[in-house]
Chains A and B, each alone.
Chain A
Amino acid sequence: MEYAVEIKNLSKDYETGFLKKTKVRALDDLTLNVRPGQIFGFLGGNGAGKTTTIKTLMRLQFPTAGSAKILGCDISDVQMHTRIGYCPENPYFYDYLTARELMDYFGELFGYDKATRKTKGEELLTVVGIEEKDWKRQLRKYSKGMLQRVGLAQSLINDPEIVFMDEPMSGLDPVGRREIRELIAGLREKGVTVFMSTHILSDIEALCDEVAILRNGKLAASGTLNELLAKDEAHRMLEIAVQGVAADAIREQIEFVAGATVVVAPNGAIIQILDESDIDAVLAVTRTAGGNLISIQPVKQSLEELFVKETKD
């Protein structure tokens, strides 16, 4: 299978200092594959190397070691950029241009004729929520949220097969975030691959098929959300909620079940067990004590817990 993005042993060092230069490793032997047609979430704390990775893929920086391919082409291939889109973090554009002129300019770089540029530009500005009255305003008069929307619009001007988005929700209000989330989900429906870095975990949970978590420039974890959330042994527990019985009343009787814990809950107790085969024994104890079963469900760690765990030194 041809991956949409293939990153192999990618490393990037920055030099700091003026006279005595020291090297700081921003990206360390990163290997990553992104399947086509999915929304790929790229997570990590500040300075983890997310933006460095995206900038390297966009040939804004040169890797110290390793290689990367986008849509089967080496990242140094300029022509490959006809098939991709990029929305930078806090996008900056020529502020002397209006939104319409910017779309026209970028459309021209892709070789579209004037009529197509006009149609596409207006269509995309509408899709990202820029009102027609603002199309003729210079970008220097735009708010951060509006610039973010223009950034998204320009990244789609060439109907890309893959879009790289660096913090696409940054600067957007809750309504704006929801609109852009729907836009990104719509891209997946059209078969567009989205490579998205973000700090907003709810967006990742709502949108992403797969995620990768970076820590200090290294890949800390990757896979589908379900895989990652169920990966930890401690989080394969089952949670049995019962009512009509006090936690203290059953705690001693459940001690024989290895690894079981009993905690107090409103009108009853919650029993956590590690092994599915212990369910019957636990239920027998609670019934004997006069309790009723409410629910049995697997305990899932939240993405936030996972994020904190994987990004903590």
Chain B
Amino acid sequence: MAAEGLRFPSRILTISKNAFREAVRDRILYNLILFVLLITASAVFLGELSAGQEARVIVNLGLSSTLIFGAFISIFVGVSLVWKEIEKRTVYSIFSKPVGRGEFIVGKYLGLCGTLFVNVAVMGVGVSLALLYVQGGSLVLQIWPTVALIFLELTILTAVAIMFSSFSTPALSALLTFFIFVIGHFSSSLRDLAQQMGSATARVVFDAIYYILPNLSHFSFITESSNGMTPPPAMIGGSLLYALIYDVILLTITVVIFNRRNFK
């Protein structure tokens, strides 16, 4: 008797588990070793250079590294996530099974988000341990909301990368995603600058950039964290909602594009 097939959410889970396994087997998480070396070296040597400021520097350096390492994974793994499946023709076997194209995209996306979650969490633990080492224990709990914001930012970046890769080459997709990452952090400042300049065209352009592209400054709290501040709950809630809405919109666009693709 033929199989009945998995129900919709289970298929997504199965695909995401495999995408996570792919990232692990492709040694993506090896970046953690580099991170651990960096943070250990910081903990050991920075104390001597910055009297009394070790904890602050470790938070700043550690969380910035978490964001940069995560952004690299989001961009470079994200752009090849779907493209590789098409190039290597592994999609042929997948789509001959009862798997919808939307389920495939969402499954792959969640798999990479799972990888990023583990990556960010382990880095958060690394920063916490380094803080304990330099007697900065008071900051240990305060960094975690900021770590969560970094993860939310990376989910958006991953969705951007997958969206570009659904119609473009990996190199171009990586470049475009990197631009979005940079502009996303400065769109708010650029908009303020345009308002002050007074040029109507500049205002329209930077308003458009501000509203259309993801505003990643919503998720920036690293400097404040290093000064012992914690993001207010409203900021975390707002950022979570913003990331969710943005992720859903980007994935919907990706699925619409992917649904029309012919695999030659």
Chain A interfacial positions (CB closer than 8 Å to B): 14, 55, 58-62, 78-86, 88, 91-94, 96-97, 105-106, 108-112, 151, 154-155, 157-161, 164
Q: CB within 8 A of B96: which of A58, A96, A97?
A: A58
Per the bound structure, the CA–CA distance linking A92 and B100 in Å amounts to: 19
Asked if B11 lies at the interface with its beta carbon under 8 angstroms from chain A, I say yes
User: How many angstroms from the CA of A293 to the CA of B6 in the assembled complex?
Assistant: 68
Assess whether B93 is in contact with A60, with CB atoms less than 8 Å apart.
Answer: no
**Complex Cα gap A80–B22 (Å):** 28
Select one of B10, B92, B97, B260 contacting A81, CB under 8 A.
B97
B2, A159: Cβ atoms closer than 8 Å: yes
Contact A154 B263 (CB under 8 A): no
Which of B15, B18, B93, B97 sits near A110, CB closer than 8 Å?
A: B97
Contact B262 A84 (CB under 8 A): no
Q: Which of B6, B26, B96 has the most CB of A within 10 A?
A: B96
Task: List, sorted by A's number, 7 A–B pairs whose CB atoms are closer than 8 Å.
Answer: A62-B260, A62-B262, A81-B99, A82-B4, A110-B98, A111-B10, A159-B2
Given A60-B262, A61-B264: A81 and B18 within 8 A (CB)?
no
Contacts of A61 in B (CB 8 A): 262-264
**B residues within 8 Å of A by Cβ?**
1-7, 10-11, 14-15, 18, 21-22, 25-26, 88-100, 260, 262-264
Q: How far is A91 from B98 in the complex, measured between Cα atoms in Å?
A: 18
Known: A79-B98, A108-B6, A110-B97. 4 other contacts (CB 8 A): A59-B95, A62-B262, A82-B3, A96-B22
Q: Is the Cβ of A85 less than 8 Å from the Cβ of B100?
A: no
A85 to B96, CA, bound (A): 7
Number of A-B contacts (CB under 8 A): 102
Q: CA A296 – CA B177 in complex, angstroms?
A: 77
Residue of A nearest to B1 (CB): A159
**Also in contact, A92 and B98, with CB within 8 A (given A109-B14, A110-B3, A158-B2):** no
Q: Which of B2, B18, B26 has the most CB of A within 10 A?
A: B2
Q: Which of A59, A93, A154, A158 touches B3 (beta carbons < 8 Å)?
A: A158
State the Cβ distance, B78 to closest chain A Cβ, in Å. Answer: 18
Contact B5 A111 (CB under 8 A): yes
Contacts of A82 in B (CB 8 A): 2-5, 98
Inside 8 A of A97's CB, which chain B residues have their CB?
A: 21
CA distance A79 to B262 in the complex (A): 20
A109 to B89: give the CA distance in the assembly, Å. 18
Contact of B6 among A58, A62, A109, A151 (CB under 8 A): A109
Q: Which residues of B contact A85 (CB under 8 A)?
A: 96
Name B26's contact: one of A59, A96, A109, A164 (CB within 8 Å).
A96
Cα A78 to Cα B3 with chains together (Å): 13
Nearest Cβ on chain B to A37's Cβ, whole angstroms: 15
Residue of A nearest to B97 (CB): A109
Interface pair A91/B3, CB less than 8 Å apart = no
Query: Nearest-CB distance from A117 to chain B (Å)?
Result: 10
Instruction: Please name all residues of chain B whose beta carbon is closer than 8 Å to the beta carbon of A58 when the two chains form the complex.
Output: 92, 95-96
- Bound CA–CA A94/B14 (angstroms): 14
Asked if A106 and B26 make an inter-chain contact with CB atoms under 8 angstroms apart, the answer reads no
Query: Which B-chain residue is minimally distant from A92 (CB atoms)?
Result: B89
In whole angstroms, what is the CA distance A91 to B97 when docked?
14
Bound form: Cα–Cα A79–B5 in Å = 7
Distance from A107 Cβ to chain B, minimum over Cβ atoms (Å): 8
Contact residues in A for B95 (Cβ distance below 8 Å): 58-60
Q: Across the interface, do B89 and A88 meet the contact criterion of CB distance under 8 Å?
A: yes
Q: Which of A84, A94, A111, A154 contacts B22 (CB 8 A)?
A: A94
From A109, which residue of chain B is reached at the shortest CB distance? B97
List chain B residues, Cβ under 8 A from A88. 89, 92-93, 96
CB-CB under 8 A from B91, the residues of chain A are 60
Collect the chain A residues with CB atoms within 8 Å of residue B6's CB.
108-111
Chain A residue numbers with a CB within 8 Å of B22 are 94, 96
Task: Give the nearest-CB partner of A116 in chain B.
Answer: B3
Partner of A92, one of B2, B15, B25, B92: B92
Q: Which residue of A lies closest to B7 (CB)?
A: A111
Would you call B97 and A106 a contact (CB within 8 A)? yes
Given A96-B25, A109-B99, A111-B4: A60 and B90 within 8 A (CB)? Answer: no
Q: Are B4 and A93 in contact (CB under 8 A)?
A: no
Residues of B with C-beta under 8 A to A111: 3-7, 10
The answer to whether B18 touches A105, judged by C-beta atoms less than 8 angstroms apart, is yes
How far does the Cβ of A62 sit from chain B's closest Cβ, in whole Å? 6
